[in-house]
Structure 1
Amino acid sequence: MIRKLEHIGIWCKNMDESIRFYTEVLGMKLVDRVRIDADLELGFLAFAGSEDVQLELISRGYEGQPDNGIVHHIAFTVNDIEAEVERLKELGVKMLDQTPRVILNGVKIAFFFGPDGERLEFFQPVA
C-alpha cells in the first residue's frame, strides 16, 4: 500500500549554496545531510510542521547527469516495497530497479518510470 508522498529529489550543483537557498530564502529546515560516498551527498529539507514530506538535494557531479531535468525523482512511502515492486512488474511498469536496494542504514528504495518517462521511487523506511 502506498502511504504518502515521501520526497522530491532535485539535482544541485553546490550543496552548500542549495541548502542556504532553501533554508534562508524559502524558510525550510535542514533535516539531515549525508555523504553516501566520495561522489554522492544528500541533503534533506522540510518545512516546520510538514517534516513528513521532504525535499532531497542530490549533489553528484551535476555536469554529465542524465538529461532528465533538475527534478530527479518523486518518492512515495510504502509499507512493503517487495510486494509493490512485484505488483508494478505484473502491471508491465518499466522498472529501473528489478529488486529493492538498501541504503542509509536499512532504508529500502526502488526506482521505476511513469508513463512519460518520469522517474519515480518507492521508499520503505527502517521499521
Structure 2
Amino acid sequence: MNIVSIRIITADVSNLVRFYEEITGLSAIRYTPDFAEIKTGLATLAIGSTNTLQFFGGEAVAHAAQNRSAIIEFRSENVEADYERLKEFISPYLVQPPTVMPWGNQSLLFRDPDGNLINFFTPVSQAAVEKFDGKK
C-alpha cells in the first residue's frame, strides 16, 4: 500500500491553491471550483472545499482550518534557496527559519493560510541523505 495523496479541506479553495502554487512552483489542476490537485513526483496534494464533504457523509466528517496535529512535508533540493525565494511571501506564516534538526534534515517550518503546518526539508547529514536516497 502507498500513500498517494493528502487532502486539505478548506473554506477557500482558490486562496489555498494560489498559496501552494506559489510555495511549490507547481501549477494546480483545477477540476471544479471545489477541488484541485497539485501533483508532485511522489504524491498529490489535493485541496477540496467544505462543499465536497457531502460526498463523504456530511460536514461532521472534517472541519476546515482545524488541523493542529499533521505536518505537510515537501523534500526540497535546497531549503536555504527556498527560504530566500519565499521569505517575504511566507513571513506572516513563518514558524521556524531553516534549522538543522537532530535527525539530520535542514527544516523550514511555516503555516498555510488555513493554519496547516508545512515543512520544507533537505537531508543534510550523511544518514539522512542515505535514508532518502534509498541506500539504507
TM-score (norm 1): 0.40
Choose 1 or 2 for highest CA Rg.
2
Q: Give the number of the structure whose residues are more often strand, by fraction.
A: 1
Q: Give the number of the structure whose residues are more often helix, by fraction.
A: 2
